[in-house]
Amino acid sequence: MLLFVSLLSTWLSGAERPNILWITAEDMSPALGCYGDSYASTPNIDKLAKESIRYTHAFATNPVCSPSRSCLITGVYATTLGTQHLRADFPIPDFIKAWPSFLRAAGYYTTNNVKTDYNTGSAKRLIEESWNVNSDQAHWRNRKGQDLKKPFFCVFNDMTSHQSRTMVWPYEKFQKEVQSQLPAKRIHSPVKAPVPPYYPDTPIVRKTIARFYDCVSVMDQNTGKLLRQLEEDGLADDTIVFFYSDHGSGLPRHKRLTLDSGLRVPLLIRFPEKYKHLAPAKAGSTTDRLVSFVDFPPTVLSLLNLPIPNYMQGRPFLGSKKTTPRTHIYGARDRVDEAYDLTRAVRNHRYLYLRNYLPHISYNQPSFYSDLGEIRGEITNLARNKKLKPAQLLYAGPTRPRESLYDTLKDPYNQNNLILSKESAHQKARKLLSMKLLSWMKETRDQGFYPEEYVWEKSAQHNASPYELARDNHITNSSPIKAADLVGHPDANLDDLLGLLGKDDPLQQYWGLLALGGTNLCESCYDDLRYTMGDEHPNYIRTEAAKLLAENDQPEGLALLRKTLGHNDPDTVLRAARALELLGPKARPAITDMHVARNQWKADKSGSSIPMFIWFSLEKALARLGENVENAGL
């Protein structure tokens, strides 16, 4: 730290330090006038864009909030930290600091208003390190005494465009708490709403799209208010302003998916006159430089000419330590709430490549919270009744491609999968991007290929965080990545998959079971599954085997799932609860067990989110079976 301060003081002798203001919008793709969206009404942000550099290729690392925020606060990929699952509680090592702490050490006044959501058991430490003030009153205007002489780094997180407001809240609540803040002339007409080709064109869909844009307009008003306060206080000429969103919009097929609709975000950076030498171009211009959230922390440190910790994985795109432009960005989706998933993505300027490791599960798989949205029910019901067009079934159909390749220049909606194209350019892109993705997963020690229960077990055994487990080779991602590659593989036969169940490595067994979930099982397979249900195997193995047996009407599978609901480990119970939910009518004999477990975990006061996801899953399961469950959300 002494070296850190010494290096800073050397720089300070010849220059003033800029203030840094971050304005973060929730759940918003680039649905702004300045990004060419003619339906948007965003005059304040459009004005900011004329004074800023507008980035056309900025991307979140994860298409959901808390994993993205764990990256934004550390400069390390969530998949490296082990924070890639939504509302995870895994710790991160003490030497990985919340990067605003470096600004505090250099004499900055730092505030956050108000969301943290850093997705780690170390969140309390990160908050304490980062912020002089972290509250809904945090503001540069609240500086007092000696703090008035300090430059500031202030973050404002605007919730107005969050999924809760745009599709989950009852429409009346949205009207009262959000839409009422707009003058009548700025309320969006559903009749004029732009319906993308992956949505059915129905009144409910149009109403939800219009509602989303109303939320964006209120967020725009809030942004304008902040910028005016900066002007009123005479600080605009001393402050570099960042405006961006935390991932794609909270509508179906956006948030939670590693398509452009889930990962691409707006990014505006305004440099006042005295700091225009730090800008990469003139105000009002655009840049197509690829930037990722993992680049944000080292970029601000570079702007301030501060040292960048070696553990940070991003590439500074501004300042004294600016690097050559990156050629690729990466994205990851894992468990969100009770919905298990594993998708990885890599993108260059033209092509987006996706690898779905659970291709037999729909993009539109059930999810308690998202399913509260009227639009989700509309899409799901139309899909169930076979009333969707082929382009819409790419999202709402029962399965998804194992691999996808999209030409984003010709196909900005990511609709035309080129993976089977014979064109040499497409084949070359597929080969290059798949190799890039595999290298990135291995080099960054991707934690997504391990069951959470396995990581907790190893963490306790070695008294280490997931980051340290992988760094010190207590876990290695080579065997699970190789086994996971067999899921949905066209050349993998049943014997290959069953062979994994006999391995000594539980990770290969685990991925063998997941791969079998997308196949037609034969009578002789059941003995292999019964073997992996044995007491000598970890619970995550036993539960996955039980799920497969239950799906195939083997009674011992359902019996084990019912028994597992009584386990005391929440991660173990969640896996069983989700299996029962997806069983549908076949789970009917477990109704009593599900009621008991649902009531138990709903009353949990531990503060962990996993109990909430358990009762999310069980309430959905019970409601679908016709049970009277209060607040089931259906």
pLDDT band per the 50, 70, 90 thresholds, residue 489: very high
Query: Largest Cα–Cα distance in the chain?
Result: 78
Q: Is the pLDDT of residue 465 over 60?
A: yes
Contact predicate 213/34, CB 8 Å:
no
- Return the pLDDT at 428: 98
Q: What is the mean pLDDT of the chain?
A: 95
Contact predicate 179/166, CB 8 Å:
no
What is each CA distance from 566 to 131, 595, 633, in whole angstroms?
Answer: 41, 11, 24
- Return the pLDDT at 518: 83
- Return the pLDDT at 510: 97
Mean pLDDT (whole number) for 97-101: 98
What is the dihedral sign for C-alpha 60, 613, 448, 467?
positive
Closest CA to 396 of 377, 417, 411: 377
Query: Which helix (H) or strand (E) is 63 found in, with range?
Result: none
Instruction: Quote the DSSP letter at residue 25.
Output: E
Closest CA to 49 of 38, 37, 60, 33: 33
Q: Is the pLDDT of residue 296 over 60?
A: yes
Closest CA to 155 of 127, 113, 115, 109: 113
Which residue reads 């690392």 in tokens?
A: 61
Query: How far is 324 from 327, CA to CA, in rounded Å?
Result: 9
- Return the pLDDT at 15: 53
Contact predicate 378/202, CB 8 Å:
yes
Query: How far is 155 from 300, CA to CA, in rounded Å?
Result: 13
- Return the pLDDT at 456: 98
Two tokens, residue 179: 């839409």
- Lowest-confidence region among 72-86, 192-206, 476-490, 528-542: 476-490
Mean pLDDT (whole number) for 193-204: 98
Active site residue 65: yes
- Return the pLDDT at 631: 54
- Return the pLDDT at 10: 45
pLDDT tens digit sequence for 535-571: 999 999 999 999 999 999 999 999 999 999 999 999 9
Q: Is the pLDDT of residue 22 over 80?
A: yes
**Residues 34, 65, 215, 525: which is the catalytic one?**
65
pTM to 2 decimal places: 0.96
What is each CA distance from 320 to 11, 73, 252, 497, 609, in whole angstroms?
Answer: 11, 21, 40, 52, 41
Q: Is the pLDDT of residue 612 over 80?
A: yes
